[in-house]
Chains A and B, each alone.
Chain A
Amino acid sequence: MKLYEYEGKALFKRVGIPIPNGVVTSEPIKWEGKAVVKSQLLEGARGKRGLVRVTEDVYNTILELKKLGIEKFLVEEFIPHEKEFYASILLDRETAEPMLVLSKEGGIDVEQAKDVKKMIIPLERGVRSYDIIEAEKYLGVKGLSPIIQGLYKLFVEYDAELVEINPLALTNDGKLVALDSKVILEDNALYKHEDLLKELGRQEVRDSYVELEGDIGIIGNGAGLTMATMDLVKLNGGNPADFLDVGGGASREHVRESVLKVGRNPKVKKIVINIYGGITRCDEVALGIVDALKEIKKPIFVRLLGTNEELGKKILRENGVNVYDDVLKMIGDAVRS
């Protein structure tokens, strides 16, 4: 679960990471002096889209941004600074330990940074004094301790997937301040943090749906098979509109909801469904598809294989749905239709 910038910063404050003074608002407010008005959206690249503005006129800036449909703003004091760095912690999958990532090039996409330092900080020992010395020497600054300790604490205690400060500013008077926050909590661990969810007014949602740019809706069972189906559509000249994995043992109702979810996306012109029934029953899937077709009228191409496949195919054929044995033929037909 990705947190909003202001939510992430509230957590930063709690663990002792310095942040600018600011307020969260959904209405225009009066503000003395120079400020940064930051639209609170979960998508990135807010700066490039002109949704983060430095201004002396906070009131009217918020009014303008509201016209663009933005609902929530973080208004912060403007902090003059000399340098911007990057700092984050995420899990290193190879060592199964937290990894601190630092860069002297802050404020840009870290993937584009040429100068990056990665330090493994094992769970068993946590952050130690010599880690701080190494990090401070690399960035050429002092006072990193509360920042690294804070990030690490957030990462471990809140089961985060990623805690990121980009940029971490070095102010003209030599202080380090987190100008932005990116905190992604691990969905699987949210049940341990009910208090935090309550505080944020958020709910645990579990969803494997990912929206993409194209016009062919994709549904599969199993992440690998669903991804492979997306890739096949692309290789055959089509463009996937989404990724939706119905998971193992999907019920009729779950399949119906999934087909409706994909079908209701206005960009979707047709839907490809690829099912290998292991613990999933093809007849349940077929019934779910037929149910959904009562509510949406878009062409559907289905490949069913595995448990109860004959029954599933029969149900689909009786309801006039295109059903295939061969995945490649199904995708070819779907792309060309």
Chain B
Amino acid sequence: MLKYGTKIVAGVTPGKGGTEVHGVPVYDTVREAVKEHEADASIVFVPARYAVDAVYEAIDNGIKLIVVITEHIPVLDMARLVKYARARGSRIIGPNCPGLIVPEETLIGILPARAFKKGNIGIVSRSGTLTYEVSELLKNTGMGQSTVIGIGGDPIIGTSILEVVKMFDEDPNTDKIVVIGEIGGTMEERLAEAYKRGEIKKKVVAYIAGMTAPKEKRMGHAGAVVYMGMGTFESKIRAFKKAEIPVANTPYDIPKLLLS
């Protein structure tokens, strides 16, 4: 992140206060860090058992954007945490996500720089590596990205597909939007409904992973699971078709759909 140009003012690790990493001062608590530095975002890499505390700590110290990379946070803990954050005006991205990148400007996450270049496509995704794959494909076909956000593969996440698409819709640097979804949950269906109601003006192209996934089996991501027939592949494709959002058969068809 430092190499990419992100301004990292402080790190926090209990017990490591007073040390430095790559020239960045480390503190024991967020409170101590924000007393010395101004920070408007935070990124959490803390292991699952301690990540919940780390996010509460960031919220309580007024951090407005919290990117949670950590995987395996219990879902009920996350449900409480997301509500706590909303009530206090903080936005969580993730958990179980690669973070976000504004190509050639800033990176808050673990997305590999090689996949991205500056441009006018906004990408929102529930996946990590699939996002890199699609971004690199777009880059190789001459389409750069305005912002790329991995919102995470968990059942409960801080920021939904629809919220990000609405931000892209208002973002002057974004012309077209790519949505990379997967089975489980109904975030894709909610986007399709909003699109159908005319709430989104810009062109949206979608891809959904998990056509061949069996029900009630978790496909790697905690959130990629279908219970009670909710959030199946078919339901998402149907919703997008109804909203007239073009759906790519494979990730490799996305550039073609963007250009058509």
Contact = CB atoms under 8 A, between A and B. Distances in A.
Contacts, number: 166
Interface secondary structure of B, over-half rule: loop
A305 interface: yes
A227 B79 contact: no
Contacts of B222: 187-188
A186 B187 CA distance: 21
B219 A210 contact: yes
Interface residues of B, number: 62
Contact of B250 (A156, A161, A189, A232): A232
B206 interface: no
A247 B111 CA distance: 14
Contacts of A123: 76, 79-80
Interface in B104-144: 110-112, 114, 125-133, 136
Contact of A278 (B111, B184, B220): B111
B75 A91 contact: yes
Contacts of A233: 212
B65 interface: no
Interface string B248-260: 0111100000000
A96 B82 contact: yes
Nearest to B127: A224
B68 interface: no
Interface in A158-173: 159, 161-162
Contacts of A192: 74
Interface string B61-80: 00000000000111111111
Interface in A214-246: 220-228, 230-235, 240, 243, 245
Interface stretch (B9-17, B24-32, B195-203, B223-231): B223-231
Contacts of B219: 208, 210, 223, 226-227, 243, 245
A159 B250 contact: no
Contacts of B77: 189
Residue among A187, A231, A305, A307 facing the most chain B CB atoms (10 A cut-off)? A231
A161 B222 CA distance: 11
Nearest to A94: B186
B174 to A, nearest CB: 22
Given A91-B75, A186-B75, A235-B250, A224 B126 contact: yes
A327 B130 CA distance: 12
Nearest to A189: B74
The 3 closest A-B pairs by CB, nearest first: A224-B127, A223-B220, A222-B129
Interface of A: 90-91, 93-94, 96-97, 101, 110-111, 123, 156, 159, 161-162, 186-189, 191-192, 206, 208, 210, 212, 220-228, 230-235, 240, 243, 245, 247-248, 276-280, 305-307, 327-328
Interface of B: 48-49, 72-80, 82-83, 98, 110-112, 114, 125-133, 136, 153, 155-156, 180, 182-187, 190, 207, 209-214, 217-224, 227-229, 231, 249-252
24 contacts: A91-B156, A93-B187, A96-B78, A123-B79, A156-B76, A161-B75, A189-B77, A208-B218, A208-B220, A220-B129, A224-B126, A224-B131, A224-B182, A224-B209, A227-B209, A227-B213, A227-B219, A228-B133, A228-B251, A276-B136, A279-B110, A305-B136, A307-B112, A328-B252
